Amino acid sequence: MSSRQSVPNLSALAESVRKSHRKRRLRTRLHVAEMTTVPGAGTTCEHDHTMQKSARVLGPYKNGDKWRIVMLDGDTRKSLVADSYEAALALRDDLKGVIKKHIARSFEESLEEYLKNLVDRGVSQDTADKVRRMLRPFLPLAEPLTAIDAERAAQMYFDETRRTKSNGEPIANDSHHLLLRRVKHFYKWAISRRYVMQNPFAEVSPIGRPKRGKQQLRIDEARKLVTVAMERAKTLDAGSTAILMQIFLGLRPTEALVRVVRDLDDEGRVLWVPFGKTNNAKRRLQIPDALREVMLLHAKGKPADAPLLGPPGDALHTRDIIRYRLKLLCQQLGLPTVCPHSLRGLNATLALDAGATAQHVAAALGHASFTTTARHYADASSVANVGLRRVADLLGTRSGSRATDVEQLASLLQTSLSPSDLQRLRQLLPA
């Protein structure tokens, strides 16, 4: 099975080189590098040892009073004519250099360029590092970008779905689904840079159903965790305090750990989150009284730019400290072992149960809309109860209020109730 790809737009490339080569040679090389598209890859997959013909340049050949250069790529052939033998040699060298440059571009080189591009476009360095850790073990770093064809791509993804983690457990569907999305985005970028002609993963579909939401603690279980975590937090234990910040404020693990003293405002009543994973992560959160005392203890005597959780001058903690402390506390209290990210979901569930509006909960978590909150964080029953409360509010009568908008009510019912609930409602309504 060959992984070879041909050079697209060969005529356009040849024409651009022909015109630009009338200028100085140095300027010509720069122009060719800009105008070139994906080269033919004379490479094969690691499971195919048959040598394929690569894109190549032949000549110069005498052509009347001029000299001809021939560009070949598979069945595609294009001739270029130069006025002199020296010009033809320069043209040939430029084209060979362009082809060699792109054929030699490896996954490792391209991946680093891609990650730098992500950061330049506003993606946080932390997210870029996560992408690096995910893609580097998956991609054949030493091979050229053109070394993967559609068949190999499908096999690579299938093998990933069968991979087991270091603890012997199979990799979660959500994990390899995310990997597939990220590798497709990498190839989309590579195509935009004209490093490859097509995405071999384009037709690869995710295997298995994603798991919506993470296991959450029940209310009594959460109370036990908060009680013990609060005791440890008062001793300036960073992991326990970060756990409380996630539960009470709905912060992402990293958002809790990278806060500096300056982010704690209004005498400990407000916490600023000036940046985060997305644009919507920027927000200002009200700190409940139950957490305010602990936050002030951590900030006491520190300069404004010092880490809020940790001694001045120390490096910021990583999310491992939350994972370690949460697992330890769950084991000590006999609670189900949950992951740090589930604490955000617990925050959303409890907020909805307490009567908070969907929009306010989504904003507190840093989501653009409640759709993400409902799909991945809040308990499904809590989400349904919010819809029922909204229906009740809309149906409720108040003195001096306007008549209910029937169309608005119908739309709200359709989006808030399940099909079975809608059917039951129809049965209860008088004919």
Report residue 335 as tokens.
């609670």
Q: Are residues 126 and 70 in the same domain?
A: no
Across 289-316, average pLDDT: 90
What is the number of domains present in the chain? 4
| Sign of CA pseudo-dihedral 196, 9, 102, 74 | positive
Across 300-309, average pLDDT: 93
Question: What was the pLDDT predicted at 401?
Answer: 43
Whole-angstrom distance, CA of residue 196 vs CA of residue 173: 28
Q: How confident is the model at residue 79 (pLDDT cuts 50, 70, 90)?
A: confident
Residues near 159 by beta carbon (within 8 Å), at least 6 away in sequence: none
pLDDT of 242 > 80? The answer is: yes
Closest to 121 (Cα-Cα) out of 174, 175, 57, 192: 192
pLDDT of 248 > 80? The answer is: yes
Question: What was the pLDDT predicted at 188?
Answer: 94
Question: What was the pLDDT predicted at 51?
Answer: 32
Q: Are residues 317 and 375 in the same domain?
A: no
Whole-angstrom distance, CA of residue 185 vs CA of residue 213: 24
Q: Are residues 224 and 318 in the same domain?
A: yes
Q: What is the pLDDT of residues 381-404, one digit of tens each?
A: 444 444 444 444 444 544 444 444
Question: What was the pLDDT predicted at 72?
Answer: 77
Across 135-160, average pLDDT: 93
Lowest mean per-residue pLDDT among 33-42, 51-60, 63-72, 187-196: 33-42
Q: Are residues 232 and 322 in the same domain?
A: yes
Report residue 259 as tokens.
């806060």
Report residue 219 as tokens.
């209310």
Query: Residue 4: inside a domain, yes or no?
Result: no
Q: SS3 letters for 80-135?
A: EEECCHHHHHHHHHHHHHHHHHHHCCEHHHHHHHHHHHHHHCCCCHHHHHHHHHHH
Whole-angstrom distance, CA of residue 229 vs CA of residue 244: 7
Closest to 251 (Cα-Cα) out of 364, 393, 332: 364
Do 282 and 274 contact (CB within 8 A), yes or no?
yes
- Residue at token pair 């970060």: 242
Whole-angstrom distance, CA of residue 241 vs CA of residue 218: 20
Is the pTM here over 0.85, yes or no? no
Q: Are residues 73 and 141 in the same domain?
A: no
Question: What was the pLDDT predicted at 422?
Answer: 77
Do 124 and 278 contact (CB within 8 A), yes or no?
no
Bridge partners of 283, per DSSP, are 273
pLDDT of 147 > 70? The answer is: yes
Residues near 320 by beta carbon (within 8 Å), at least 6 away in sequence: none
Q: Are residues 333 and 359 in the same domain?
A: no
Domain end marker among 82, 104, 126: 104
Domain containing residue 423: 348-431
Query: Residue 208: inside a domain, yes or no?
Result: no
Q: How confident is the model at residue 277 (pLDDT cuts 50, 70, 90)?
A: low
Query: Residue 206: inside a domain, yes or no?
Result: no
